[in-house]
A and B are shown apart, each in its own frame.
Chain A
Amino acid sequence: MSRTRVFLVDDHAMVRAGVRAELGDDVEVVGEAADVGTAVTGIRATTPDVVLLDVHLPGGGGHAVLQSLRAELPATRWLALSVSDAAEDVIAVIRAGARGYVTKTISGPDLRDAVRRVAEGDVVFSPRLAGFVLDAFAAAGSPPAAPAEDPATDPGLDLLSAREREVMQLLARGYTYREIGGRLFISVKTVESHASNVLRKLQLSNRNELTRWAATNRLL
């Protein structure tokens, strides 16, 4: 199996050097970029497997890179990497198509693991992202009993299923997919599919509440 080809986008040279060092020899770093323009041309030229994308970038932010390239490069996976704790920034990049979000304080082994999983098509939820997701879907104002009562009438994208909520809560509590599987007596694959369903809902739901939630969080 060939090494995963990774492209780094971050406006701080020190961060790029640090991430490059932490990724080590498991992956091949095919390019780096410090702003939206060079990122777009660089990624187009190298067609990497995984792009590590900073949320805050000069020239439009990480989601600008994603929006201009996502349709063009369907095979490329995107992983948001940021120090930002601002929920609306993270949600914006996820909604633009990123397959996960990790903070820059992540340890080297965890980062390598996250890149590998994203490359394999999994989604990567850090505890913080799981918290954002729970916050976003809880802000819809659905009473906790409603989804359990009529799951059939509302199969749409606006609500998390009870199982998906459980998975998100365990992720936010710091559990790994394997541990969640053990807790809920389901396979790791099932946990992964719950997680990617949640990501899909987050990306596709155009519910007003989600936008409003992001807007109010910007004000906070």
Chain B
Amino acid sequence: MTTSTVPAAGPTARPLLVRPREGRFLAGVAAGTAAHLRLDPLAVRVAYVVLAFLGVGVVAYALLWLTMPAGDPWAGSEPGTEPDPALRERPSRRQLIGLALLALVAVGVVSRLASFGGTDVVLPLILAGAGMAVIWRQFDSADPAVLGGTARWGLAAGVVLGVAGVVLLLASTGQLANARNGFTATVVILVGITLATAPLWRRLLDSRAAERAALIRSEERAAVAAHLHDSVLQTLALIQRHAEDPTAVGRLARSQERELRAWLYEPTVATGGTWAGLVARLVAEVEADHAVAVEPVVVGDLPVDDAVATLGQAAKEAVVNAAKHSGAATVSLYSEVSAGSVTVFVRDRGTGFDPAGVPADRRGLRDSVIGRLTRLQGTATVRSAPGEGTEVELCLPRVEQEASA
């Protein structure tokens, strides 16, 4: 006989005894137990139901509900040992079977109780029990600190059910008058205890708030650290590796500076789909691909639509042209968003050219800049002369905005 086929991590690989979030029927006790024992949840549920007829099942279920923490039983176990997702889902047929079994149990319990207590006692007991179960269920499913609207209503319904059950029980057994005296005494004692321990509660609440704040702070710090690691530290490492190449170092430093600055000062630009963000991105792309520094200045902003995105592509093409052909080290990009139009100026102080005698290699400017703008009913103007640099002006009318204004 050999033992080599048995997985080494036998006991540790066993799922934790916790109540899973998915696949639970009532409180997840049966599902959790089944996962822990590696049995079919249906079998465990049947066992609980059978035991419930003896009374032991109900007590065991309640105790386990109290003691088993909610969680993912498969957390921490190696992947592959999980059951297939279909099992973790809540199968509707099983739910039906479960409901039927529950009804059976209910009928059984009621008939047993009725046989020695009479319906006067049984109905209030069932009401109180149901109310209790609803309250427990609500507190169980949601974090009590963040009880949502539906959970709160469920809680209220549970309280009403429970109170109705207790009152009915007392009324039916003729103990209501007695209970009233006892109730007053209890209320007095409770109020007294609450007042006496108020500072303690207050301190508990305060420390809880402080803990939350500390948690938020530490999460924030972790996010900042993660961002700095992914961006700044990586770039510094790259810069060290390229220490011999000043162009590469300059390019890395500039693109990182731009990104960090956007992250620090213009979070909406860095993430949002606006024109200023688009310009920042296209500038970063051009700087990454070409040995040129671009100075973007954007006045005003607007959300990006198709026309604006095309304007961005044309502007990028103009900047790339300047980077490739002008020989200038810096390119200025200025864009102004006004009520009627979006204008872009791309300017370099490079060699310049004669726009009348555009050489064949400048087809890029004609097709991808001027052509794009013409299709959008915009205009593209190129001002240049040999030795005087080049300025490309793009103007896109904002048709929809004017119509709606």
- In the complex, the answer to whether A174 meets B332 with C-beta atoms within 8 Å is yes
- A152 CB-CB contact with B under 8 Å: no
- B261 CB-CB contact with A under 8 Å: yes
Q: Which residues of chain B have C-beta atoms less than 8 A from A220's C-beta?
A: 266-269
- B265 CB-CB contact with A under 8 Å: yes
- Looking at the assembled complex, report how far the CB atom of A93 sits from the nearest CB atom of chain B, in whole angstroms: 15
- B74 CB-CB contact with A under 8 Å: no
- A42 CB-CB contact with B under 8 Å: no
Which B-chain residue is minimally distant from A137 (CB atoms)? B299
A174 with B299: in contact, given A84-B265, A85-B266, A169-B334 (CB under 8 Å)?
no
Contact of A172 among B257, B268, B299, B339 (CB under 8 A): B299
- A130 CB-CB contact with B under 8 Å: yes
Q: B226-260, CB under 8 A of A: which get 1 and which 0? A: 00000000000000000000000000001001000
- Looking at the assembled complex, report how far the CB atom of B326 sits from the nearest CB atom of chain A, in whole angstroms: 13
Q: A109-141, CB under 8 A of B: which get 1 and which 0? A: 000000000000000000110110011001000
- B336 CB-CB contact with A under 8 Å: yes
Q: Which residues of chain B have C-beta atoms less than 8 A from A212's C-beta?
A: none
For the complex, give the distance between the alpha carbons of A173 and B347 in Å. Answer: 7
- B65 CB-CB contact with A under 8 Å: no
The B-contacting residues of A in range 167-199, CB under 8 angstroms, are 169, 172-175
- B345 CB-CB contact with A under 8 Å: yes
Contact of B297 among A84, A86, A131 (CB under 8 A): A131
- In the complex, the answer to whether B347 meets A131 with C-beta atoms within 8 Å is no
- A143 CB-CB contact with B under 8 Å: yes
Which A-chain residue is minimally distant from B383 (CB atoms)? A183
Contact of B265 among A86, A127, A144, A173 (CB under 8 A): A86
Is the interface on chain B under 10, 10 to 19, 20 to 34, or 35 or more residues? 20 to 34
For the complex, give the distance between the alpha carbons of A53 and B26 in Å. Answer: 68
Which B-chain residue is minimally distant from A169 (CB atoms)? B336
Q: Which residues of chain A have C-beta atoms less than 8 A from B295's C-beta?
A: 127-128, 174
A127 with B334: in contact, given A85-B266, A144-B339, A174-B347 (CB under 8 Å)?
yes
Which B-chain residue is minimally distant from A218 (CB atoms)? B265
- B287 CB-CB contact with A under 8 Å: no
- In the complex, the answer to whether B300 meets A172 with C-beta atoms within 8 Å is no
- B338 CB-CB contact with A under 8 Å: yes
Which B-chain residue is minimally distant from A174 (CB atoms)? B332
A134 with B299: in contact, given A143-B339, A173-B334 (CB under 8 Å)?
yes
Q: Which residues of chain B have C-beta atoms less than 8 A from A169's C-beta?
A: 334, 336
Which B-chain residue is minimally distant from A136 (CB atoms)? B299
A131 with B266: in contact, given A138-B300, A172-B299 (CB under 8 Å)?
no
- In the complex, the answer to whether B339 meets A135 with C-beta atoms within 8 Å is no
Q: Is the interface of A mostly helix, strand, loop or mixed?
A: loop
- In the complex, the answer to whether A134 meets B339 with C-beta atoms within 8 Å is no
Q: Which of B265, B297, B336 has the most CB of A within 10 A?
A: B297
Which A-chain residue is minimally distant from B330 (CB atoms)? A174
Contact of A130 among B268, B297, B345, B391 (CB under 8 A): B297
A131 with B265: in contact, given A138-B299, A138-B300 (CB under 8 Å)?
no
Q: Which residues of chain A have C-beta atoms less than 8 A from B254's C-beta?
A: 105
- Looking at the assembled complex, report how far the CB atom of B286 sits from the nearest CB atom of chain A, in whole angstroms: 16
- In the complex, the answer to whether A173 meets B345 with C-beta atoms within 8 Å is yes
Q: Which residues of chain A have C-beta atoms less than 8 A from B339's C-beta?
A: 143-144
Q: Which residues of chain A have C-beta atoms less than 8 A from B347's C-beta?
A: 173-175
Q: Which residues of chain B have C-beta atoms less than 8 A from A134's C-beta?
A: 299, 336
Q: Which residues of chain A have C-beta atoms less than 8 A from B261's C-beta?
A: 83, 85
Q: Which residues of chain B have C-beta atoms less than 8 A from A175's C-beta?
A: 347
Q: B289-316, CB under 8 A of A: which get 1 and which 0? A: 0000001011110000000000000000
Q: A71-92, CB under 8 A of B: which get 1 and which 0? A: 0000000000001111000000
- In the complex, the answer to whether B338 meets A172 with C-beta atoms within 8 Å is no
For the complex, give the distance between the alpha carbons of A173 and B330 in Å. Answer: 12
For the complex, give the distance between the alpha carbons of A143 and B339 in Å. Answer: 8
Q: Which residues of chain A have C-beta atoms less than 8 A from B257's C-beta?
A: 83, 105
For the complex, give the distance between the alpha carbons of A114 and B252 in Å. Answer: 27
- In the complex, the answer to whether B299 meets A131 with C-beta atoms within 8 Å is yes
- In the complex, the answer to whether B266 meets A172 with C-beta atoms within 8 Å is no
The A-contacting residues of B in range 330-354, CB under 8 angstroms, are 330, 332, 334, 336, 338-340, 345, 347
- In the complex, the answer to whether A135 meets B300 with C-beta atoms within 8 Å is yes
For the complex, give the distance between the alpha carbons of A105 and B298 in Å. Answer: 18
- Looking at the assembled complex, report how far the CB atom of A136 sits from the nearest CB atom of chain B, in whole angstroms: 10
For the complex, give the distance between the alpha carbons of A175 and B336 in Å. Answer: 16
For the complex, give the distance between the alpha carbons of A128 and B336 in Å. Answer: 12
Residues of A that sit less than 8 Å from B by CB: 83-86, 105, 127-128, 130-131, 134-135, 138, 143-144, 169, 172-175, 220
Known: A144-B340, A174-B330. 11 other contacts (CB 8 A): A85-B261, A105-B254, A128-B295, A131-B334, A134-B336, A138-B338, A169-B334, A173-B332, A174-B334, A175-B347, A220-B267
- A-B CB contact pairs (8 Å), 7 listed: A83-B257, A83-B261, A105-B254, A130-B297, A131-B297, A131-B334, A144-B338
